[in-house]
Structure 1
Amino acid sequence: MDGEVDVMQQTIQDLEQASDLYMPDPDPSQVPVNRNLTRKAGYLNARNKTGLVSSSWDRKYFFTQGGNLMGQARGDVAGGLVMDIDNCSVMAVDCEDRRFCFQITSFDGKKVAILQAESRKDCEEWIATINNISKRIYLSENPEEIAARVKPISS
């Protein structure tokens, strides 16, 4: 019996020293927000006005491509333009029934998109990314060239 215990203890020590031990993902609340992103992709809920006071929310895959915010619904072959984010404004907003919402307003104020992220961190990263893209294009001497060069995310 002592021999089995020794073998088991040795096995445990070997496993603990192995470099390929399972490491769980870090707690998302402990991961810092990256405010330097110039590309972002992921699922967001988009608010659609269905009447004067009513609205619905649709889950879509969104991604930045150049100076544009693109969206792709389930079953779509490719993403479509949601909004030109050159010189837009973006900010966190309170929604009556949702958390982690933010609003993007076009430069001329004619187009507004209200989106909901899956977490506070994700919401803050989307806001920072859109601000970074908008600022980078706005401050450049050749905005069209910068908008074309902001690299799309390859999946």
Structure 2
Amino acid sequence: MLPVLGDDHDLNHGDVVVFAPAVLNDRPEPGQEDDWHPVFEYLTLLDPAGFTTYWIDGCCPDDDTWYALRGALQEAGYAVWAYSGDHYRITDPHHEGETLPGIYAALGVPPTSSAKEADALLTELTAHWPHPLAWPALAEAAGADPARHRKIVDDYDL
């Protein structure tokens, strides 16, 4: 099973694929492996799961809050994969020159849900956060006004 993949892939969460067993990229030196992921040659798609990927970006909350969000989304049938690591920092719009821990994640929306439902659920689950997340493409797909998300992108320099 695949994690949620990026826009540059035709594959997505839950798709069953065949890939070559040889790793295509070299493993970095010890201590420099934080963002390394093995890459395998994709051969064919056997069974598409039908998920659609949307990107979430913004300030990463504390671990408990992030895991609560992930858990609630997974319980509702969504897939969530964080692509950013501890090094990802974003601009703090309230304190010039300071940064905040960031989170860049992919949300896999299952075929049993819609962009509108995903947008509403994310809005509800993150409404109390001190720093908002942005998901402009999802908001647009949901028929919601993406202006709020574009403002977040601008304010936090995402």
Q: Using structure 1 for the length normalisation, give the TM-score.
A: 0.25
Q: Using structure 2 for the length normalisation, give the TM-score.
A: 0.25
- Structure 1 or 2, whichever has the larger Rg, is 1
Q: From the two aligned structures, give the one with the greater helix fraction.
A: 1
